[in-house]
Chains A and B, each alone.
Chain A
Amino acid sequence: DQQVKQNSPSLSVQEGRISILNCDYTNSMFDYFLWYKKYPAEGPTFLISISSIKDKNEDGRFTVFLNKSAKHLSLHIVPSQPGDSAVYFCAASTANFGNEKLTFGTGTRLTIIP
């Protein structure tokens, strides 16, 4: 039972355009959502997060949107750069930067085309 779903295994975007990565969840108890970025042979690194009391959080080129009624979140990257090519994992938690037992999606491989 996949509680966090990333239905697009891969995505290709031209450099300079917007990348939109999507994530859906089924557990209504989740109240904190995170995006992690992973390069080959490295561990995932934290990118951006959002609490369920918000519908948008922005950090530089990265913006996360949360639609609680649809149980959907998305990560927007604009403009996309070659260094953004990586696997992106959506994650959800019922804790907020404490004892986090994160539930991860299956990941989306983003390729930025120069």
Chain B
Amino acid sequence: DAGITQSPRHKVTETGTPVTLRCHQTENHRYMYWYRQDPGHGLRLIHYSYGVKDTDKGEVSDGYSVSRSKTEDFLLTLESATSSQTSVYFCATTGTGSPLHFGNGTRLTVT
């Protein structure tokens, strides 16, 4: 799993509350990504980072923000959680010459 740790593994939160998911990697990979997995949609890219403080939007970025203050940590924040953000969230990393490696996911339920 390329030394990727996602926390928490499970979270239940209420609509309207802010939520932050953490991804920590020990591989010193430059690139980091957040995907969400939903039935009927596969995995969709939310945001990605190509270095410390360098981030960009993916195809489903509305309602999400990210931060990367250190190479090893990539945070995903839901500003005000909605039921449509109930999903499984996967962090992934890659270094030059290697395919994308994924963490084991965070299951988020917004009630």
Contacts and interface: CB of A to CB of B under 8 A. Distances in A.
Interface stretch (B13-21, B37-45, B67-75): B37-45
A91 B97 CA distance: 17
A34 B99 contact: yes
Contacts of A4: 42
A94 interface: no
A106 B100 CA distance: 17
B40 to A, nearest CB: 6
A102 B35 CA distance: 10
Given A106-B40, A106-B42, A100 B102 contact: no
Contacts of B99: 34, 46, 49, 97, 100
Interface of B: 1, 4, 31, 33, 35, 40-45, 48, 50, 58, 90, 92, 94, 96-105
21 contacts: A4-B42, A34-B99, A41-B104, A41-B105, A43-B1, A43-B92, A43-B103, A43-B105, A44-B90, A97-B94, A99-B48, A99-B94, A100-B31, A100-B94, A100-B100, A101-B45, A102-B45, A103-B45, A104-B42, A106-B40, A107-B42
Nearest to B48: A101
B9 to A, nearest CB: 9
Contacts of A98: 31, 94, 96
Contact of B43 (A99, A100, A104): A104
Interface of A is mostly: loop
Nearest to B56: A101
Interface in A55-100: 89, 91, 97-100
Interface residues of A, number: 24
Contacts of B94: 97-100
A89 B42 contact: yes
B51 to A, nearest CB: 10
A101 B43 contact: no
A106 B41 contact: yes
Nearest to A98: B96
A34 B103 CA distance: 18
A101 B58 contact: yes
